[in-house]
Chain A
Amino acid sequence: MPAETILVAACGNVMAADDALGPMVAARLRERQLPGVEVVDLDLRPAGLLDLLIVPRCALIVVDACQIEDDHEKDENLIEMRWRDGGKEAIIHDDVLSTHGLSIANQLEMAEAMDLLPEEAWLELAKIRNATIGDLPSDEIESAAQAIAKRIEQLTEKLHEPAQHA
């Protein structure tokens, strides 16, 4: 895989209501066939993220659903943030992003410590309220998946522009 490839890693459980966000976004991105973008659906195995980073990439975008108990920004359901910018510790917490042995947050920290994390590492998140196994995704999360796919398309275009890497 060439180093100029952008990796989009999506997490989520298609059998657990709005936790299906990641796979839904991955499906929409595959339809768009974005050039220079590899889309991986981590599905129920978010702990596989680190394995993907031993291959050099120019950027990483993680897509996930998050549940936040004390949410001070209730109006903002979609969150786009650069991993290294920080400032939203409540979101980058082990309990909020998908885990299964190693959380997404842990893996990003480990990758950074081992110089495996691309300079451009982004999170595309949607806040959800229901992750009950057996429930169907809500209409809101269908819309959120569409909106996030659009955001990622725009973000990857920007990240592929040479000036943005300088």
Chain B
Amino acid sequence: MSDLKTKAEGTRTIRVGALARVEGEGALHLAMKNGEVDRVNLEIYEPPRFYEAFLRGRDFREVPDITARICGICPIAYQTASCYSLEKALGVYDEVVGDATIQSMRDLIYCGEWIESHILHMFMLHLPDFLGYESAISMVADHGDAVKKALKLKKIGNDLVALLGGRAVHPVGMCVGGFHRAPDQKNVDAILPELREGLQIISELTLYLAENVTFPDLERDYEFVSLCPDDHYPMNLGRIKSNKGLDVAQEEFGKAVTEIHKEHSTALHSTIIGRGGYMVGPLARLNLCHDRLHPLAAELLPKVCKAMAKELPWQNNFFSLIARGIETVHAFALSIDILEKYERPARCCVPITPKAGWGGHGTEAPRGVCWHEYRTNEDGKIEMAHIMPPTAQNQTTIEEDLWEMARRVVDLPDEEAALKCEHLIRNYDPCISCSVHFLKFNRSWK
């Protein structure tokens, strides 16, 4: 929907409301001066800072279920990051990480979240942009069967989350120290055939998209940041590294970046100290860790690169559509591996005695690194909580991308320019969870 208004001579303001394919609220304002881009503000509102305040004084056991409510799409990211951070603070991290069963269960539930979130974004939020549809509704009229296949995949992701989390929406199965209970064998056996079928479907769909989608040409010299474990694709564990020399232990990440408040946004803008904006998310993970993909995803990758005529590293964030596809293949294949070896464990939680301590840890949300830190007192109550969600970390880089895009669309009509900027923002699958549901586009001319 658009609302075009011509204002005073020399100044033109355009508002485009109802961008329904972004999670939460935001407003984009482009200021043009003498035909050049003068200012780019992506105004977003992030609620996690409220959570940091009301976590104080809470028992450590409450934290995973409270932080899960920061986001309806990626509760597992908030649960895993808070659990690992608190396990460090409470002195049981090594025992939890050393327990292969707990680790595989955490990887498995995360696979469910990646599948659900990536499929939602790829096929219902982002793909309409690439195929030239105004919305997912208009796309469905022509591609209903493909969307039905995607819904089936998404449901498998939900089922995986429910298998370990007790329910798909705001799962409650994970706890500090592990899980409240392990899945029954019969439920594991029931989901395996669906996963095998889903793996086949997503492999075919990803290759189809690589072969048939045309991507806008916008390459930039990004600093990609992700967890980089030595022996597997990033998800729960590993040092945090970049393609430009960042290489820190998990606990040090909070000191490597700085969060800046800007007047136009309630979300803090993250930058790497001494350098600048950086990108987290599927493109960063794939570029930095593609050699650690599951063998079945690794087998697909060269076919995809050939179809797109682009070798890694990909510097074009519009390719994140395909990166999500590859990661979804990885998540399906990894889930099958874990469940084929599954035997119901005698225990799935490490006992914890409350104590004073501090811990910091990030895990890979579908949108990128979600980093938490907590300080507990001797009773296990939270004294300090600090959360860096991925969308806030990406905000500086989104604005830098928009500068580049704004230059390229300066001659286009406002409505068309707005659509291209919105398409670019959706590359990041921004999760701007809050109570109002649209992005307003505003470009003024002087």
**Interface flag for A41 (CB, 8 Å):** yes
Determine which of B69, B124, B434, B435 lies in contact with A102 in the assembled complex, contact meaning CB atoms within 8 Å: B124
**Interface flag for B280 (CB, 8 Å):** no
**Interface flag for B176 (CB, 8 Å):** no
Determine which of A13, A94, A100 lies in contact with B23 in the assembled complex, contact meaning CB atoms within 8 Å: A100
Most chain B beta-carbon contacts within 10 A, residue among A47, A50, A51: A51
**Distance, CA A47 to CA B119, complexed state (A):** 12
Residue of chain A at shortest CB distance from B23: A101
Is the CB–CB distance between B141 and A100 below 8 Å? no
**Distance, CA A42 to CA B158, complexed state (A):** 12
Is the CB–CB distance between A44 and B147 below 8 Å? no
Is the CB–CB distance between A51 and B144 below 8 Å? no
Q: Which chain B residues numbered 3 to 39 have a C-beta less than 8 Å away from chain A?
A: 17-18, 20-24
Stretch among A27-35, A56-64, A80-88, A107-115 lining the B interface: A107-115
Contacts of A134 in B (CB 8 A): 50, 54
Q: Which chain B residues numbered 142 to 162 have a C-beta less than 8 Å away from chain A?
A: 144, 147-148, 151-152, 154-155, 158
Determine which of A19, A45, A50, A102 lies in contact with B20 in the assembled complex, contact meaning CB atoms within 8 Å: A102
**Interface flag for A103 (CB, 8 Å):** yes
**Interface flag for A4 (CB, 8 Å):** no
Q: Which chain A residues numbered 96 to 138 have a C-beta less than 8 Å away from chain B?
A: 98-103, 106, 109-110, 113-114, 116, 131-134
B115-153 interface code vs A (CB 8 A; 1 in, 0 out): 000001100110000000001110011001001100110
B65-100 interface code vs A (CB 8 A; 1 in, 0 out): 000010111000000000000000000000000000
Is the CB–CB distance between B437 and A95 below 8 Å? yes
Residue of chain B at shortest CB distance from A102: B124
**Distance, CA A131 to CA B390, complexed state (A):** 25
Residue of chain B at shortest CB distance from A50: B151
The count of chain B contact residues (Cβ–Cβ below 8 Å) is 40
**Do A44 and B137 form a contact, CB below 8 Å, given A95-B18, A114-B147?**
no
**How many A-B residue contacts, CB cutoff 8 Å?**
102
**Interface flag for A39 (CB, 8 Å):** no
**Do A51 and B155 form a contact, CB below 8 Å, given A42-B169, A95-B437?**
yes
**Distance, CA A130 to CA B17, complexed state (A):** 22
Is the CB–CB distance between A99 and B20 below 8 Å? yes
**Distance, CA A31 to CA B338, complexed state (A):** 37
Return B259 CB to nearest CB of chain A, in Å: 21
Contacts of A159 in B (CB 8 A): none
Determine which of B72, B135, B168 lies in contact with A44 in the assembled complex, contact meaning CB atoms within 8 Å: B72
Contacts of B135 in A (CB 8 A): 106
Residue of chain A at shortest CB distance from B144: A114
Interface residues of B (CB under 8 A from A): 17-18, 20-24, 47, 50, 54, 69, 71-73, 120-121, 124-125, 135-137, 140-141, 144, 147-148, 151-152, 154-155, 158, 168-170, 433-438
- Sample 6 A-B pairs with CB under 8 A, ordered by A number: A54-B151, A95-B18, A98-B437, A99-B438, A110-B137, A110-B140
Interface residues of A (CB under 8 A from B): 13, 15-16, 19, 40-48, 50-51, 54, 94-95, 98-103, 106, 109-110, 113-114, 116, 131-134
